[in-house]
Chains A and B, each alone.
Chain A
Amino acid sequence: EDKVVQSPLSLVVHEGDTVTLNCSYEVTNFRSLLWYKQEKKAPTFLFMLTSSGIEKKSGRLSSILDKKELFSILNITATQTGDSAIYLCAVVLLKTQGGSEKLVFGKGTKLTVNP
């Protein structure tokens, strides 16, 4: 069974702190890994990571994939209250015959940033 495990499930920090969110996976037919941010409504896309191991950065957020150890981390530096959200990790599984690539999501990490 394909599994994506995120840790911690919940995290409370103060503004200015740096946080690291973890995502490990055990899946067949790995294609890539996606990170999403979910505030009140729909998840919004942050990064896509592949087996190339190239780090992705956007402002204070960065992420990298370790394909040997089968995990990814999402770093947020100098956190702000606007970073408070659920962060979802999803693994893209290769297409099955006649089907489409599918995403398997982790349960998410709820980040709360206090002023």
Chain B
Amino acid sequence: NAGVTQTPKFQVLKTGQSMTLQCAQDMNHNSMYWYRQDPGMGLRLIYYSASEGTTDKGEVPNGYNVSRLNKREFSLRLESAAPSQTSVYFCASRTGVSYEQYFGPGTRLTVT
């Protein structure tokens, strides 16, 4: 039981490049979330998916797209990376019963 996994762990992009961050959970959770964490800013919600086949915007969705591929996987795509997207990205999931969210180990992204 790996919990929530994320790939890659680290990534450096040039401005304008695109990439997809992958997230998978093996806990049979319905809801999944993408956050970014910047120094002194706490965690901010980018997008979330209440269930397979649905996605919705969070607090800071601009510049990102998401795909809920199936119940296990929720990916985050940067179509044209910008330096302002330099951050640590966390994926999380939760069951429909508890409000506790389980977090993945994070992806540290640098855009130069």
Partner of B99, one of A31, A99, A105: A31
B31 interfacial contact with A, CB 8 Å: yes
- Size bin of chain B's contact surface: 20 to 34
A100 interfacial contact with B, CB 8 Å: yes
B50 to chain A, nearest CB (A): 4
Q: A48-B100, A92-B99 are in contact. List 11 more A-B contacts (CB 8 A).
A: A42-B90, A43-B90, A48-B98, A99-B48, A99-B50, A100-B49, A102-B45, A102-B58, A103-B33, A105-B44, A107-B40
Q: Which residues of chain B come closer than 8 Å to A108, judged between CB atoms?
A: 42
Q: Which of B51, B100, B106 has the most CB of A within 10 A?
A: B100
B79 interfacial contact with A, CB 8 Å: no
A32 to chain B, nearest CB (A): 6
Residues of A within 8 A of B (CB): 4, 6, 9, 31-32, 34, 41-45, 48, 88, 90, 92, 98-108
Residues of B within 8 A of A (CB): 4, 31, 33, 35, 40-45, 48-51, 54, 56, 58-59, 90, 98-106
The answer to whether residues A100 and B100 also contact, given A41-B105, A88-B42, A105-B43 and a CB cut-off of 8 A, is: no
The answer to whether residues A88 and B43 also contact, given A42-B104, A100-B50 and a CB cut-off of 8 A, is: yes
CB-based contact A9/B99 at 8 Å: no
How far, in whole Å, are A45 and B31 apart by their CA atoms in the complex?
17
Q: Which residues of chain A come closer than 8 Å to B51, judged between CB atoms?
A: 100
How far, in whole Å, are A102 and B104 apart by their CA atoms in the complex?
17
CB-based contact B43/A43 at 8 Å: yes
B27 to chain A, nearest CB (A): 13
CB-based contact A43/B103 at 8 Å: yes
A73 to chain B, nearest CB (A): 18
A95 to chain B, nearest CB (A): 8
The answer to whether residues A32 and B42 also contact, given A42-B106, A99-B50 and a CB cut-off of 8 A, is: no
A58 to chain B, nearest CB (A): 14
The answer to whether residues A48 and B45 also contact, given A41-B106, A42-B104, A42-B105 and a CB cut-off of 8 A, is: no
